[in-house]
């Protein structure tokens, strides 16, 4: 379909996106989708106000007293004023700060001179913004199974039900998340699935550049993880595999976020092995070079239906496939449909066998097959589909308005 036709009813819009993650941090599906969406329409990205226990932190010291809006990657980033600090136990005060933050976004959107405001809510914590912004189109985009979080509350549950019922469009990043949301909504809400994609051009060409300097000195075979390092990884499994295979190099690329002391102890033991390498966080533009320089890329998640990671769609799945290297994964619902190009291991013995086959004979599938799958899941195609859904809603609203007049 011609772009002009597809976006004609949507191009005169401002998109406000509310997400818990800072734009300048790790690049997740939010940045991938919104930076591409910004090539078509005006996009504003905002995160929650800081809380009182963050006073004096680097984030607080770096904030401007009166805030501002900066453009990054084509997206307007809302830098909230340093004065906007929430005290969660003071409910009225927190609501007031949220109201002021939402009103500020609404004013900025109006100044853009567009006819419609589209609000994308990525977490139920932002429910208080909806009434103040009063969008023409409301989108609830669930990228995780939030209700598995240990800090999930009745307020958040009620907020999620409200968003599911009030939204013009509900999106989940996996079929497993969509299934949970259908149960939660209790009213048969229609939920669309937009699985995570890949910057295919970047990850398929990662092997064309030089191997990153800190990785080049690590001996082959390299078994690599790229992404945030936290409790979703099965470090007991990795500890056993690394200990049993001292000639294999286990390379972990990403920021470390460990809150559980038990997990942290296992991680320290894992780190102490001579064939284990932690290379730290990298800019998202550097990741293709790391993924392409591994011999095997792994998704070694804990398989636990009580964990949020069980239901999500790994951002790294198509990134790994685009690199063309063998992939071995834990048995997650979102991975199973890719068993023709990804080896799925359900036990330590299967992990050992799958890794051995990947190193010795290339594992499941081949380079071309993996890349062909990834190519069909490029982020550009994902955003085209997302825009088509938004345009359909916008056209429907226009038709209803015309009929009323």
Q: Does the CA dihedral 27-28-29-30 come out positive or negative? A: negative
**Cβ proximity of 202 and 181 under 8 Å:** no
CATH top class, domain 3-197+378-404? alpha beta
- Lowest mean pLDDT across 183-192, 218-227, 234-243, 332-341: 183-192
Task: Return the domain boundaries, the chain.
Answer: 3-197+378-404, 200-375
Structure confidence by residue, pLDDT tens digits, 388-399:
998 888 666 555
Q: Which H helix or E strand runs over 7?
A: helix 3-7
**What is the reported pLDDT for 288?**
96
| Residue 349, C-beta contacts closer than 8 angstroms, at least 6 positions apart | none
Interval 125-179: pLDDT, tens: 999 999 999 999 999 999 999 999 888 999 999 999 999 999 999 999 999 999 9
Give, in words, the CATH class of 200-375. Answer: alpha beta
Nearest to 121 by CA among 112, 131, 111: 131
The mean pLDDT of 64-76, rounded to a whole number, is 94
Whether 3-197+378-404 shares its CATH topology with 200-375 is answered: yes
Place of tokens 């499941």: 364
């Amino acid at each position: 379909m011609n772009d002009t036709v597809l976006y004609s009813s949507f191009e005169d819009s401002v998109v406000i996106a509310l997400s818990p993650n800072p734009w300048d941090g790790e690049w997740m599906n939010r940045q991938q989708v919104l930076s591409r969406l910004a090539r078509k329409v005006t996009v504003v990205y905002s995160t929650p106000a800081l809380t009182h226990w963050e006073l004096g932190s680097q984030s607080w010291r770096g904030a401007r007293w009166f805030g501002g809006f900066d453009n990054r990657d084509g997206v307007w980033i809302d830098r909230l004023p340093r004065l906007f600090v929430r005290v969660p136990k003071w409910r009225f005060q927190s609501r007031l700060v949220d109201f002021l933050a939402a009103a500020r976004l609404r004013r900025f959107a109006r100044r853009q001179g567009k006819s419609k405001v589209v609000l994308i809510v990525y977490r139920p914590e932002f429910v208080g913004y909806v009434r103040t912004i009063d969008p023409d189109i409301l989108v609830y985009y669930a990228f995780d199974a939030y209700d598995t979080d240990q800090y999930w509350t009745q307020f958040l549950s009620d907020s999620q039900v409200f968003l599911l019922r009030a939204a013009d469009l509900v999106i989940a990043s996996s079929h497993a998340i969509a299934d949970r949301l259908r149960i939660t909504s209790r009213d048969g809400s229609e939920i669309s699935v937009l699985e995570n994609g890949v910057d295919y051009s970047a990850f398929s060409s990662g092997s064309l550049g030089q191997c990153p300097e800190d990785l080049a000195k690590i001996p082959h075979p390299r078994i690599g993880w790229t992404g945030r390092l936290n409790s979703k990884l099965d470090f007991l499994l990795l500890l056993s595999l690394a200990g049993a295979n001292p000639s294999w190099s286990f390379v972990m690329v990403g920021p470390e976020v460990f809150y559980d002391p038990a997990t942290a102890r296992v991680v320290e033991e894992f780190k102490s092995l001579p064939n284990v390498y932690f290379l730290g966080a990298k800019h998202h533009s550097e990741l293709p070079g790391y993924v392409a320089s591994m011999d095997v890329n792994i998704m070694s998640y804990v398989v636990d239906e009580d964990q949020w990671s069980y239901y999500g769609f790994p951002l790294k799945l198509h990134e790994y496939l685009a690199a063309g290297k063998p992939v071995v994964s834990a048995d997650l619902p979102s991975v199973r449909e890719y068993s023709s190009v990804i080896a799925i291991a359900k036990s330590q013995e299967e992990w050992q066998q799958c890794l051995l086959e990947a190193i010795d004979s290339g594992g499941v599938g081949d380079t071309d097959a993996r890349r062909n799958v990834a190519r069909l899941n490029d982020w550009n195609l994902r955003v085209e589909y997302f825009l088509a859904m938004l345009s359909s809603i916008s056209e429907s609203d226009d038709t209803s308005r015309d009929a009323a007049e």
